[in-house]
């Protein structure tokens, strides 16, 4: 079943609004991509104007920057430590922007949007 991002069919008072038009293609939404820790899988998503977004389904590695050396490196993900967007994501090892993950290099905070960018980028944080 499709997801639609339209305005509410109810007034603030609780009464029903009349439909002024049909649904539009640009109002269509999609299920969230919950990026997890496993062998790399990517999904292509077509957007408006025939553009393509790359949704990262799962991955085991993360690109990170060490603030001291200002160099980019790659680390292997072990676990999700903190996720402010949803506490259930910690238990299910779901990675979103702002999540703090445990790696072999230390704790890394994710700065990219893996469900839309198709990659995991982050910054090394002090433990």
> Confidence band (pLDDT; 50, 70, 90) for 61?
very high
pLDDT mean across residues, the chain? 93
Q: What is the mean pLDDT of residues 34-45?
A: 94
118 has a pLDDT exceeding 80: yes
Q: Where exactly are the structural domains of the chain?
A: 33-124
What is the rounded distance in angstroms from the CA atom of residue 35 to the CA atom of residue 19? 37
With a CB cutoff of 8 Å and minimum separation 6, the contacts of 47 are 53
24 has a pLDDT exceeding 80: yes
In words, the CATH class of domain 33-124 is: alpha beta
With a CB cutoff of 8 Å and minimum separation 6, the contacts of 83 are 89, 90, 94, 95, 96, 98, 99, 100
With a CB cutoff of 8 Å and minimum separation 6, the contacts of 29 are 2, 3, 4, 5
pLDDT digits (tens, 9 = 90+) for 71-81: 999 999 999 99
Q: What is the mean pLDDT of residues 100-117?
A: 94
């Amino acid at each position: 079943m499709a997801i639609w991002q339209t305005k509410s069919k109810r007034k603030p008072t609780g009464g029903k609004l009349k439909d002024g038009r049909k649904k539009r293609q640009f109002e269509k939404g999609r299920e969230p991509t919950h990026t997890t820790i496993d062998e790399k899988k990517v999904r292509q998503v077509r957007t408006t104007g025939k553009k393509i977004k790359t949704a990262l389904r799962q991955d085991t590695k993360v690109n990170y920057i060490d603030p001291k050396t200002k160099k980019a490196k790659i680390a292997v993900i072990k676990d999700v430590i903190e996720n402010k967007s949803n506490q259930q994501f910690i238990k299910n090892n779901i990675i979103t922007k702002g999540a703090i993950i445990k790696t072999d290099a230390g704790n890394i905070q994710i700065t990219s949007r893996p469900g839309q960018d198709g990659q995991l980028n982050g910054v090394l944080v002090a433990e």
